[in-house]
Chain A
């Protein structure tokens, strides 16, 4: 078990000008489950593969525990990896797949079998030990890939979208099992996903990447309540935060006719910057339908059972603007209704360049 540290680590693919991972600095604690999340092409896989030793680190360094592993080959890093397509060895049985790494370490056969059986028991794979991967279902293959990793008792688990080939229901179930397994084993884990719900539910901390640059690495709640910039604010949370570009007046800011007073920390940051245009962010659950407030017309109602999301088209700066508002599950609002939207919770303000203003 070990901490993991990226220090100014960059990867520039040959033939490309821009780094796929750009000066990444990240500390991962012993036993922590850190989730790397970001849109497609943001460099999540590249960052993970740099840690695995499958991708060359062009600048900076990578540490596992006390060791600088920047130049070590994968086999010297004591890591186990779960691939998106599982990458099981097709010609070997499940047992041989799980025991393969131990066999390479010349672990005696009896002990090897013992550890394979142990892992198979944890993952409920005992009855499949003699099967070939091609005769397993997707979920079972996923578990074999997990088994192959846990048999080794490595310093670090690396997982690249291990659940993305499962159907929605199994994915939700497996993600809980996986988080639970990781907590029990206490192995430091770096987990890549593009699914922000997966990131928020599983990660002890979540690191958001965009274009190879780390935006923010924080506990899920902090990420949600204090996004450091406009990108993180829009990326984390589903449905996404309402982001409205607006002008700053002497009274504060306004969405349409709805005036908002700014937090003193925001106003002081604003005067310091002399910024006249900002982006105001409000999460759907911090807006409400009420009798007073900004009038608008309902265009879509998404009913999810426990809650509904009402899309309201309002007028802002003389143009139509859609706000998403959370409402009760048994809402009576329907398309075409004229409603009023009011703010009922914290708002976020981002300066022109995207950075968060104030607390």
Chain B
């Protein structure tokens, strides 16, 4: 009895030592990561608990959670949150759906496949500011825009897209930029699918539709999740597009732009702005975690037999 006890003790000790042997080489990297990522976060956290305005810059006062209380009382902040949610959800969903459709089209052999793929990827490689400018001036503009040129050619009146649908003007550009990214991820997924599984489905008499929904889509699940996750994390922080296209016009001020307005954009309330950004970080983490759970649950629902 005693022998087995001491033996399991020894095993535990060995396991502990093994665990540390693996951790130690990672420590410097971990420390570096903490310094680079967590320290600024802690600073923000500290600022968010102070009242800090540019005039007068000092003294900074510790005000506890006052900023947070103000923030949730603020109608403008709630609106910005809502705008952020709409913007992210629409942009991510539309780009995932479009990206999947295009990937399905590209996932068959045709002449010039590589060339077409490269062409399709370019929007993703364009700088957000440039994309915003191009769309604002070349596409949406009432005077110079391609859309209005077409609309007028068809005999209708010109439309001020940006002021009429500020949120959608931004979402469309985001979708335009992010569809190629989603397409790439989904395409990788499609090409990783075993050819014989698809042949088995054909022999089993599955229609293309059934094959897509019952075999291809479940296979693509991790790829879709990855696309949604990366897309959400990035798109919740979108700033450039808002700044360039609408400049925060009605209904298009998302949280990052709101934070900017309240701090260096003229509000000069750094404490409050820090509180906003902390809320966004926490919200993103929650959304990313729960969003994925929900999505997995939806796709997992496979009927047995």
Q: Is the beta-carbon distance between B305 and A54 smaller than 8 angstroms?
A: no
Q: Is the beta-carbon distance between A89 and B305 smaller than 8 angstroms?
A: no
Determine the residue in chain B with the shortest Cβ distance to A77. B203
Which B residues are CB-close (under 8 A) to A84? 196
Q: Does B197 sit at the interface, judged by CB under 8 A?
A: yes
Given known pairs A52-B203, A54-B202, A100-B206, the reply for A87 and B194 (CB within 8 Å) is yes
Q: Does A105 sit at the interface, judged by CB under 8 A?
A: yes
A-B contact pairs, 19 of them (CB 8 A): A54-B202, A75-B204, A79-B203, A80-B204, A81-B203, A87-B194, A87-B199, A89-B197, A90-B197, A90-B219, A91-B219, A91-B221, A92-B214, A92-B218, A96-B305, A99-B305, A104-B207, A116-B305, A130-B304
A73 vs B204: C-alpha distance in the bound complex, in angstroms?
A: 11
Please tell me which one of the listed residues B203, B210, B302, B304 contacts residue A74 in the complex, with CB atoms under 8 A apart: B203
Given known pairs A52-B203, A73-B202, the reply for A87 and B305 (CB within 8 Å) is no
Q: Tell which of A81, A113, A116 has the most Cβ of chain B within 10 Å.
A: A81
Q: Is the beta-carbon distance between A54 and B199 smaller than 8 angstroms?
A: yes
Q: Does A347 sit at the interface, judged by CB under 8 A?
A: no
Determine the residue in chain B with the shortest Cβ distance to A160. B196
Q: Does A112 sit at the interface, judged by CB under 8 A?
A: yes
A242 vs B60: C-alpha distance in the bound complex, in angstroms?
A: 99
Q: Does A163 sit at the interface, judged by CB under 8 A?
A: no
Q: Does B215 sit at the interface, judged by CB under 8 A?
A: yes
Q: How far is the CB of A189 from chain B (nearest CB, A)?
A: 15
Q: Is the beta-carbon distance between A83 and B200 smaller than 8 angstroms?
A: yes
Q: Does B73 sit at the interface, judged by CB under 8 A?
A: no
Which B residues are CB-close (under 8 A) to A116? 305
Q: Does A317 sit at the interface, judged by CB under 8 A?
A: no
A112 vs B204: C-alpha distance in the bound complex, in angstroms?
A: 14
Beta-carbon contacts under 8 Å, A92-127 to B? 92-93, 95-96, 98-101, 103-105, 109, 112-113, 116
A191 vs B58: C-alpha distance in the bound complex, in angstroms?
A: 86
Determine the residue in chain A with the shortest Cβ distance to B197. A87
Which B residues are CB-close (under 8 A) to A81? 199-200, 203
Q: Does B56 sit at the interface, judged by CB under 8 A?
A: no
Q: Does A85 sit at the interface, judged by CB under 8 A?
A: yes
Q: Is the beta-carbon distance between B302 and A85 smaller than 8 angstroms?
A: no
A306 vs B55: C-alpha distance in the bound complex, in angstroms?
A: 101
Which A residues are CB-close (under 8 A) to B302? 91-93, 96
Beta-carbon contacts under 8 Å, B197-240 to A? 197, 199-207, 210, 214-215, 218-219, 221
| B 25-58 to A, binary, CB cutoff 8 A, 1 in contact else 0 | 0000000000000000000000000000000000
Which A residues are CB-close (under 8 A) to B194? 85, 87
Q: Is the beta-carbon distance between B200 and A89 smaller than 8 angstroms?
A: yes
A113 vs B203: C-alpha distance in the bound complex, in angstroms?
A: 20
Given contacts A96-B303, A98-B305, 6 further A-B pairs with CB under 8 A are: A54-B199, A54-B203, A91-B215, A93-B302, A93-B304, A104-B210
Interface residues on B, range: 20 to 34
Which B residues are CB-close (under 8 A) to A95? 304-305
Which B residues are CB-close (under 8 A) to A52? 199, 203
Which B residues are CB-close (under 8 A) to A104? 204-207, 210
| B 178-205 to A, binary, CB cutoff 8 A, 1 in contact else 0 | 0000000000000000101101111111
Which B residues are CB-close (under 8 A) to A98? 305
Which B residues are CB-close (under 8 A) to A112? 305
Q: Write the residues of chain B forming the contact surface with A, with a CB cutoff of 8 angstroms.
A: 194, 196-197, 199-207, 210, 214-215, 218-219, 221, 302-305
Which A residues are CB-close (under 8 A) to B197? 87-90
Give the number of chain A interface residues (Cβ < 8 Å): 35
Which B residues are CB-close (under 8 A) to A96? 302-305
A80 vs B218: C-alpha distance in the bound complex, in angstroms?
A: 23
Q: How far is the CB of A127 from chain B (nearest CB, A)?
A: 15
Q: Is the beta-carbon distance between B196 and A83 smaller than 8 angstroms?
A: yes
A116 vs B197: C-alpha distance in the bound complex, in angstroms?
A: 20
A265 vs B194: C-alpha distance in the bound complex, in angstroms?
A: 54
A92 vs B226: C-alpha distance in the bound complex, in angstroms?
A: 21
Q: Is the beta-carbon distance between B196 and A100 smaller than 8 angstroms?
A: no
Which B residues are CB-close (under 8 A) to A105? 205
A154 vs B162: C-alpha distance in the bound complex, in angstroms?
A: 61
Which A residues are CB-close (under 8 A) to B221? 91
Q: How far is the CB of A130 from chain B (nearest CB, A)?
A: 7
Q: How far is the CB of A69 from chain B (nearest CB, A)?
A: 13
A87 vs B304: C-alpha distance in the bound complex, in angstroms?
A: 18
A104 vs B199: C-alpha distance in the bound complex, in angstroms?
A: 15
Which A residues are CB-close (under 8 A) to B219? 90-91
Q: How far is the CB of A13 from chain B (nearest CB, A)?
A: 14
Which A residues are CB-close (under 8 A) to B215? 89, 91
Q: Is the beta-carbon distance between B218 and A113 smaller than 8 angstroms?
A: no
Which A residues are CB-close (under 8 A) to B304? 93, 95-96, 130
A152 vs B204: C-alpha distance in the bound complex, in angstroms?
A: 9
A192 vs B215: C-alpha distance in the bound complex, in angstroms?
A: 27
Q: How far is the CB of B302 from chain A (nearest CB, A)?
A: 6
A89 vs B213: C-alpha distance in the bound complex, in angstroms?
A: 12
Given known pairs A54-B199, A89-B215, the reply for A101 and B205 (CB within 8 Å) is yes
Q: Tell which of B203, B205, B302, B304 has the most Cβ of chain A within 10 Å.
A: B203
Beta-carbon contacts under 8 Å, A17-46 to B? none
Determine the residue in chain B with the shortest Cβ distance to A104. B205
Q: Is the beta-carbon distance between B200 and A91 smaller than 8 angstroms?
A: no
Q: Tell which of B197, B207, B215, B305 has the most Cβ of chain A within 10 Å.
A: B305
Q: Is the beta-carbon distance between B305 and A85 smaller than 8 angstroms?
A: no
Which A residues are CB-close (under 8 A) to B218? 90-92
Q: Is the beta-carbon distance between A74 and B196 smaller than 8 angstroms?
A: no
Which B residues are CB-close (under 8 A) to A99? 305
Q: How far is the CB of B216 from chain A (nearest CB, A)?
A: 10
A105 vs B210: C-alpha distance in the bound complex, in angstroms?
A: 12
Which B residues are CB-close (under 8 A) to A73? 202
Which A residues are CB-close (under 8 A) to B214? 89, 92, 100
